């Protein structure tokens, strides 16, 4: 596989990586251990691998350089906030689905984003898009919130996917924009 850039978010035991093609479109999203990461990158053609500089990144950087990759370690102030999804649930209540999704926004202002429930259009109709309501702050998190929405149960629950998009009332965001954060595998799928 040939990629333009890979960004790696380092954790204690689990790493998240995103691979971009030359147009900046995310073509790979993967969660793996250190061993799995090194096995994955061993036969990968990539122009650049970037990750935040930390105590564990120097070892990993050396291992990736030994595989022939160009690796750049970046100071923390240049790394984007770590927006991420937590757990996601759906309850079937009569003729309605009730979706709840945990979202961690790191340093991002909650007013600058919108979480919506998305589903592809059916029979040539427009896609289904429903804004989710931001609820209570999650206990123990710096900037995590529970979002919820209720929708008619007219199609399977696994047709729906939460997505986090930039929000500004006067702007329209194209569906394929690379800065939209899609929930990869909701718990109900």
pLDDT of residue 65: 92
Which two structure tokens, joined as six digits, stand for 91?
């309850």
24: exposed, middle or buried (Cβ count in 10 Å: 0-12, 13-18, 19+): exposed
How many residues make up the chain in this entry? 189
Sequence-ordered list of residues with C-beta below 8 angstroms from that of 166, at least 6 positions apart, any chain: 112, 113, 114, 173, 179
| pLDDT over 80 (residue 170) | no
pLDDT of residue 189: 47
Question: What b/e string do you get for 83-107 counting C-beta neighbours within 10 Å, with b at 16 or more?
Answer: ebbeebebeeeeeebebbbbbbbee
DSSP secondary structure, 52-104, as one string: E--HHHHHHHHHHHHTT--EEEE-GGGSPP--EEEEEEEEEETTEEEEEEEEE
pTM for this predicted structure: 0.54
pLDDT of residue 149: 96
13: exposed, middle or buried (Cβ count in 10 Å: 0-12, 13-18, 19+): exposed
Mean pLDDT of all residues belonging to the chain: 83
| pLDDT over 90 (residue 73) | no
Q: What is the helix (H) or strand (E) element at residue 1, kind and residue range?
A: none
Residues 15-63 pLDDT 10s: 888 888 877 777 888 888 888 989 999 888 888 888 888 777 888 889 9
Please give the average per-residue pLDDT across 62-77, as a whole number: 86
Residues 82-133 pLDDT 10s: 678 888 999 998 999 999 999 988 777 888 888 999 998 888 888 899 999 9
pLDDT of residue 29: 83
Q: Which domains does the chain have, with CATH numbers?
A: 2-78 (3.30.420.40), 84-182 (2.60.40.10)
DSSP state of 34: H
| Of residues 184 and 185, more confidently modeled | 184
Dihedral sign, CA of 72, 76, 78, 84?
positive
Please give the average per-residue pLDDT across 160-169, as a whole number: 81
């Amino acid at each position: 596989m040939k990629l333009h850039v890979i960004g790696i978010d380092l954790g204690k035991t689990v790493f998240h990586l995103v691979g971009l093609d030359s147009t900046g479109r995310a073509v790979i999203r993967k969660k793996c251990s250190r061993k799995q990461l090194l096995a994955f990158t061993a036969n990968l053609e990539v122009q650049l691998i970037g990750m935040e500089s930390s105590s564990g990144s120097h070892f990993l950087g050396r291992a990736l350089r030994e595989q022939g990759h160009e690796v750049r370690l970046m100071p923390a102030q240049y790394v984007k906030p770590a927006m991420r999804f937590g757990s996601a649930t759906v309850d079937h209540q009569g003729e309605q689905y009730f979706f709840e999704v945990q979202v961690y926004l790191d340093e991002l202002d909650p007013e600058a984003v919108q979480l919506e429930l998305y589903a592809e259009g059916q029979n040539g109709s427009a896609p289904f898009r429903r804004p989710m309501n931001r609820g209570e702050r999650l206990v123990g998190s710096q900037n995590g919130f529970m979002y919820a929405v209720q929708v008619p149960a007219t199609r399977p629950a696994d047709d729906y996917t939460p997505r986090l998009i930039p929000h500004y009332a006067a702007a329209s965001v194209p569906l394929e924009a690379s800065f939209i954060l899609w929930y990869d595998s909701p718990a109900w799928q």
